[in-house]
Amino acid sequence: MIFFEEETDRYLADLAQLHDGDRGKAVMDLIRTHQLSDEDIDEFERVHHGELVMQLERSDRNFREGNWITRCEVNRRIGL
C-alpha cells in the first residue's frame, strides 16, 4: 500500500473518478503519461489537431463571454 500526503491523495481521488474510482488505474495512467516522449505528444497533437483547436476556441470564447468559474468554485461544487 502507498500512502500520500493529504493534498496528493485528494488529487489522486479526483483522477480516479476518470477511471470509475479505481485509484490503481489512475496511477497506471499517470505512469504511462509520464513515459510519453515528445514525439508521442507531437503525434497526438497532429492526430487531434482539429479537436484541440475547437477546445481552445471554445475556452477562449467562454472566457471572453464571462462563462467561467474559478478552480476554487469547481472544488466547492464537487465537495473538495
| Residue 25 Cα distances to 18, 21, 32, 33, 56, angstroms | 9, 9, 10, 12, 28
What predicted TM-score, i.e. pTM, was given to this entire model?
0.44
pLDDT in tens, 7-52: 999 999 999 999 999 999 999 988 888 888 888 889 999 999 999 9
